[in-house]
Amino acid sequence: MSGEGVESDTGNALQIIIAGAGTMGHGLALLMAKAGHEVLLMDIDEGILDRAIKLIEAHLSSFVEAGQLDTNMISEIVGRIRTTTELSAIKTQDIIIESVPEDQDIKRSFYEKVAILCSAETIVASNTSYLDVFSLAPAFIQERLIITHFFEPPYLIPLVEVVKGPQTNPEVIQKMRKILLKAGQRPIIMEKFIPGFVVNRLQRAMGREIFHLIDGGFVKPEEIDKAVLASLGVRIPVLGVVRRYDFAGLDLALKVLSNPSIGLMDKDTVSPTLKGLVAQGYTGVKAGKGFYDYHGQNLEQIYEKRDRLLMRMREVIEEIEKVMWQNPQAYEKT
């Protein structure tokens, strides 16, 4: 899935601004620089930019350790990333990927400034998780405004949910799709905006049931993970969640889904278990404890282990794509 050294339609590497160098932004900078583009990483905080470059170098070392990158490529890739706190640097770029905090006012103010500074050709892509950015941005960037919702860490998780706005030019969608494919990503196109897009909506629906099962004392958290790993974990990569119905039989699916006896959770509730853990400071890996205990491992080791396994999973998924997709062109790197 590597998109290293790939050039744009025009034969040149693109000039891409990543705005916001936080959790997502630094990973997006890595992804685009690894794909051969010139990246300008922008943040309002100089310290965050410094940290971003250090993190990018560390993540690239993991690729080297996994045998997926030559050591000498690290300096070449990092060399394609410049950093700035100056908004005025925006004007000459082909694409701006906005990854500033998920706050309506911050995003609105960013778009207003960007709209004035960028050229009439610049594609503006938002990495928002659920905000309707089309209603926040000024009228004259609407034709080239899209949502590109990446997943953390974006240099390892290939999905990008690309969402059309009411006035988005279809050529902008196609251009972005090609750029993402060339960078090794797996874009899907959404015809219109819905908060949470596909995957976060599915995760949210699952979350309702997960906390219902935990809070109700039906099963311990680790047992849920073990159950999913040994069933959906094996099946979903091969069959997805829709094709799976074809294999189960649509007649059976109709029967099961028409039967109300399971009585699923149909609303979000504040989970007392979750509330209790947060109140004790157990906020997950960053605190050394969440549902699981991570003491004895530092954060780098935890992420390194995760990333190594994700890299191997990607190789397997790539093989599955080739075998299971009836249309082999579906993911063609055009």
Ligand X SMILES: NC(=O)c1ccc[n+]([C@@H]2O[C@H](COP(=O)([O-])OP(=O)(O)OC[C@H]3O[C@@H](n4cnc5c(N)ncnc54)[C@H](O)[C@@H]3O)[C@@H](O)[C@H]2O)c1
Q: Does 101 bind ligand X (CB under 6 A)?
A: yes
* Amino acid in the structure at residue 167: Q
To ligand X, the closest distance from the beta carbon of 324 in angstroms equals 26
Q: Does 42 bind ligand X (CB under 6 A)?
A: yes
Cβ contacts of 210-215, under 8 Å, gap ≥ 24: 211/269, 211/271, 211/273, 211/274, 212/265, 212/269, 214/271, 214/273, 215/269, 215/271, 215/272, 215/273
* Amino acid in the structure at residue 87: L
To ligand X, the closest distance from the beta carbon of 310 in angstroms equals 14
Task: Rule CB under 6 A: choose which of 14, 24, 95, 147 binds ligand X.
Answer: 24
- Residue placing its CB nearer to ligand X in the complex, 69 or 307: 307
To ligand X, the closest distance from the beta carbon of 165 in angstroms equals 16
Measured at the CA of 284, the angle between CA 215 and CA 60, to 5 degrees, comes to 140
Task: Rule CB under 6 A: choose which of 128, 148, 168, 185 binds ligand X.
Answer: 128
Comparing CA positions, the residue from 268, 130, 158, 290 lying closest to residue 204 is 268
**Residue 296: DSSP 8-state:** T
Comparing CA positions, the residue from 134, 132, 152 lying closest to residue 143 is 134
Task: Rule CB under 6 A: choose which of 13, 17, 20, 179 binds ligand X.
Answer: 20
- Residue placing its CB nearer to ligand X in the complex, 43 or 307: 43
Instruction: Burial-class residue 51 by CB neighbours within 10 Å (0-12, 13-18, 19+).
Output: middle
Q: Does 41 bind ligand X (CB under 6 A)?
A: no
Task: Give the separation between CA 145 and CA 95, rounded to whole angstroms.
Answer: 10
**Helix, strand, coil percentages for the chain (3-state, nearest 5):** 50, 10, 35
Contacts of 65 (CB under 8 A, 6+ apart): 308
Q: Does 118 bind ligand X (CB under 6 A)?
A: no
Query: Which one of the spans 102-110, 159-167, 209-217, 322-330 is the region binding ligand X (CB under 6 A)?
Result: 102-110
Q: How many residues bind ligand X (CB under 6 A)?
A: 24
Binding mask 139-178 for ligand X (x = CB under 6 A): ----------xx-x--------------------------
Q: Does 187 bind ligand X (CB under 6 A)?
A: no
Q: Does 93 bind ligand X (CB under 6 A)?
A: no
Query: Which one of the spans 39-47, 64-72, 163-171, 255-263 is the region binding ligand X (CB under 6 A)?
Result: 39-47
Task: Give the separation between CA 244 and CA 253, rounded to whole angstroms.
Answer: 10
Q: Does 185 bind ligand X (CB under 6 A)?
A: no
To ligand X, the closest distance from the beta carbon of 3 in angstroms equals 20
To ligand X, the closest distance from the beta carbon of 189 in angstroms equals 18
Contact 271, 290 (CB under 8 A): no
Task: Give the separation between CA 284 and CA 106, rounded to whole angstroms.
Answer: 27
To ligand X, the closest distance from the beta carbon of 270 in angstroms equals 21
Q: Which residues bind ligand X (CB under 6 A)?
A: 19-25, 42-45, 48, 99-102, 106, 110, 127-129, 149-150, 152
